[in-house]
Structure 1
Amino acid sequence: MPLNDLADRLKVFPDRQALGETAAEEIAHRLRLILAEQHHARMIFAAAPSQTETLAALTRQPDIDWNRVTAFHMDEYLELQPEAPERFGNWLRTALFDQLPFAAVHYIDTTGAETPQASADRYAKLLLEDPIDIICLGIGMNGHLAFNDPPVADFTDPQAVKPVSLDQACREQQVADGCFPALADVPTTAITVTIPTLMSAAHLFCMVPGALKANAVRATVKEPLTIRWPSTILRTHPSCTIYTDVHAAALLDQDVRTAP
């Protein structure tokens, strides 16, 4: 796979708010261009505190016909009650999906009677009906994309969506982010969109603020392509922009840390 220099598409901001405002403006601009050329757009969203400022700013963007946009999310826990606020679908419903008049929102169902694999297969069928135009995502502390942690990440995964076991580093991040009070409360299994599905989207917008992500940002930009850091695969995508703040970019060379 050819590797692009993500440093050329890395934007560093003084704080999370500035990051979110600019990312939202650029996502909205791309979405308007897509809707000017085609009748409908399809987007996938990450659910995480790292996305909060961007999604809030996106709901304020003008002149977008959200009635022509179908939304998906990229992962969901398997061990939480349907009403649990920690569920990613519920988090996105509050932060975004109930704020805008989407044409449709498709949730990963992990609460019904079907098996995790059957639920993953059903969601994969929805995702694969048409191309994905835009994905708004983040990067985990261990470099995960969605819930593709290093032990389960596969750059050539034959599945579009799959059940996974969560790496301890990933689960610890959920506590560090304030999503759960203790590690014992964090589920150990989930369903995730796989890396090839993420990479198949036309445009990736990756928001990664905070000092806890500094090593992951460094690895994404500097490490060789490796599943030990799944986010390094982003360097093979022709249209991927990473938005960080000064804290997340702290381990990068000064010449890379050029503010937009």
Structure 2
Amino acid sequence: MNVNGLIQPLETQVVEQMSVQIYADRNQMGRAAAAAVGDRLRQLLQDPEHQVRMIFAAAPSQNELYDGLVQEKDIDWSRVCAFHMDEYIGLPDEAPQRFGQYLTERLFSRIQPGRVELLNGLGDAKQECQRYGELLRAAPIDIICLGIGENGHIAFNDPPVADFNDPLLVKKVKLDEACRHQQVNDGCFARLDDVPEQALTLTVPALMAGKRLFAIVPGALKRQALKAALHDPISTACPATILRTHPGITMFTDREAFGL
């Protein structure tokens, strides 16, 4: 249902500090999320001196959000500095599965941010984590668009490696097998053996430091992870549970994921 041109959720719930909006399908979810992110961007850009700093997830779950953001009006993308939150280690530059490649094709080439900072999964991982961490530390992050993995991860903070008090902003991790299976389920890789075993990721504290978080979680494959994120005890057994404690988070999901 549309009211004043805005797509209305089927239902809205509040779980601790998180507003959860449930939409009829992922297309409506994506359009509503894009409208919300667009509104926040326009508010921030009213300050002519402000450069917005944003972090984007790279996953099929974000497709509808990014298609919607491309359609948002009156946003000066030249004043946006864009980061992304994780990258495989070892994939060649031309590999279509690289998250930087996904974001460039799906979003950055279409909106032309003034500055794009991509993680480099080739070369010395320790040096890259330090370099990217310094970029993130330079100024506050205004907006983060993220998803939740089938194992409850946020970015590549899988349950075995997630640390809610991580001293680092970016780190090298070994990917959980459930996480690697999701990459096959998403159609990104043909076989499990093709999925890299290691990656670079922003840590949980790096994500929780964002001022406004928009979580986009569609589809039946995310139902168990979403249920755990909303209702399980807050712990690294389901890293996404920590999102409930963020004072500025809105979650957008659909009927299939939420289970209405």
Output the TM-score relative to the length of structure 2.
0.92
Aligned counterparts, 1:1-260, within 5 A: 5-6=15-16, 9-37=19-47, 38-112=49-123, 115-250=124-259
Does the CA contact (< 8 Å) of 1:55 and 1:95 recur in 2?
yes
The question of whether the paired residues in 2 share the 8 Å contact of 1:166 and 1:188 is answered with: yes
Which amino acid letter does the alignment assign opposite residue 92 of structure 2? Q
Matched residue type, 2:38: A
C-alpha deviation, 1:79, in angstroms: 2.1
TM-score (norm 1): 0.92
- C-alpha distance in 2, partners of 1:71/1:8? 24
Say if 1:132 and 1:202, in contact at 8 Å, map to a contact too. Answer: yes
Shift of 1:5: 2.0
List per-residue Cα deviations over 1:177-198 (Å, max 9, x = no partner): 1110010000000000000000
Q: Offset at 1:117?
A: 1.0
What is the SS of the residue equivalent to 2:110? coil
SS of 1:127's equivalent? Answer: helix
> In structure 2, what residue type is equivalent to 1:61?
E
Name stretches of at least 5 consecutive residues in structure 2 with no aligned partner.
1-13
Amino acid at match of 2:151: N
Match of 2:6 in 1: none
AA paired with 1:48?
A
Distance in 1 (CA, whole Å) between partners of 2:239 and 2:86 is: 16
Q: What letter corresponds to residue 96 of structure 1 in structure 2?
A: L
Name the CA distance, whole Å, in 1 between partners of 2:121 and 2:255. Answer: 37
Aligned residues of 2:17 and 2:245 also touching (Cα < 8 A) = no
* Amino acid corresponding to residue 225 of structure 1 in structure 2: I
Conserved in 2, the CA contact under 8 Å of 1:23 and 1:205?
yes
Do the aligned partners of 2:17 and 2:247 also contact (CA within 8 Å) in 1? no
**Are the aligned partners of 2:27 and 2:64 in contact in 1 as well (CA < 8 Å)?**
yes
> Deviation per CA, 1:112-136, whole angstroms, max 9, x where unpaired?
4xx1111111111111110000000
Between the aligned partners of 2:112 and 2:217, the Cα distance in structure 1 is 27
- In structure 1, what residue type is equivalent to 2:43? L
SS across alignment from 2:216 = strand
Residue 111 of structure 1, CA deviation: 2.1
For the Cα contact (< 8 Å) 1:7–1:221, is it kept in 2? no
Identity %: 50
Matched residues in 2 for 1:80 and 1:65: separation?
33
Matched residues in 2 for 1:13 and 1:245: separation?
Answer: 5
Q: Distance in 2 between matches of 1:118 and 1:97?
A: 25
2-structure distance, mates of 1:34, 1:28: 10
What is residue 9 of structure 2 aligned with on the other side? none
Q: Write the distance in 2 (CA, Å) between the matches of 1:127 and 1:7.
A: 25
Give the letter aligned to residue 196 of structure 1: P
Whether the 8 Å contact between 1:44 and 1:71 is mirrored in structure 2 is yes
Instruction: Summarize deviations over 1:210-244 as a string: whole Å, max 9, x none.
Output: 00000111011101111000000001100111111
Tell me the distance in 2 between the aligned counterparts of 1:35 and 1:60.
17
CA distance in 2 between counterparts of 1:22 and 1:49 reads 17
The answer on whether the counterparts of 1:205 and 1:242 sit within 8 Å (CA) in structure 2 is yes
Deviation at residue 7 of structure 1 after TM alignment: 8.4
Q: How far did 1:35 drift?
A: 1.3
Tell me, in whole angstroms, the C-alpha distance in 2 between the residues paired with 1:121 and 1:170: 25
